[in-house]
Amino acid sequence: MMKRNECLEILADQLSDDTVVVAVYTTAFDWIKLRPSPLNYIFTGAMDLASSHALGLAIGMPDRRVVVLDGDGSLLMNMGSLVTIAGQAPKNLIHFVAENGTYEANGGHAIPGAGNADFAGFARAAGYASASEFSELDDFQNGLSSLLQAEGPVFAALKIEPGPPPEMDYRMMHGAQIRDDFRAALK
């Protein structure tokens, strides 16, 4: 089992500076500290919509790579997005799911089917161009370059252990300047 922060550090090292990263909830707080960027599209309050927002950005900006950092609980609340994403087939979308078996942002309650649900299998069945699963950090590190270069939509389930509660400074996400910086960076 991997640690989320270690996976994110490896990912941050391999992303180009012009990549848009959509991150929600617990992962978003970790991500914005690890890789500050005006191209971070981060939010809370829309638990199940990370993949949908990422799809819209990927369609709207076909020449820019879009990475979504989703959670297993979040994706469970919007499983239909897998079929929609596969149907639209954005070549520039990479969908990572931090699979820890909990609704971590809401107190760590177990998700339905924790340990039994096959998220990569769901994406594969929906029609994603490729779907992978990683439970060992070395395997993730060795396979990440190929994932980032593959034609999407690409899916990767990251088997992680629940992490410690992050410091949740919502001003880092919801300030007007952050939104203005994001809009300016897209132009």
Q: What is the mean pLDDT of the chain?
A: 88
pTM of the model: 0.90
Lowest mean pLDDT among 29-38, 55-64, 105-114: 105-114
Q: Which domains does the chain have, with CATH numbers?
A: 2-186 (3.40.50.970)
pLDDT for 59: 98
pLDDT for 27: 85
The Cα 127–Cα 29 span in angstroms is 30
Decide if pLDDT at 79 tops 80.
yes
Q: Model confidence at 145, in pLDDT bands (50, 70, 90)?
A: very high
Q: Model confidence at 179, in pLDDT bands (50, 70, 90)?
A: confident
Beta-strand pair 102-103/109-110? antiparallel
Q: How far is CA 1 from the centre of its chain?
A: 18
Q: Beta-strand (E) ranges in the chain?
A: 2-3, 20-24, 40-43, 66-71, 93-99, 102-103, 109-110, 130-134, 154-161
Decide if pLDDT at 107 tops 80.
no
Question: Quick one: average pLDDT of 80-86?
Answer: 96
How many Cα atoms occupy the beta-carbon half-sphere of 24 within 13 Å? Answer: 26
pLDDT for 172: 66
Percent of the chain at pLDDT exceeding 90:
57
Q: Model confidence at 174, in pLDDT bands (50, 70, 90)?
A: low
pLDDT for 182: 85
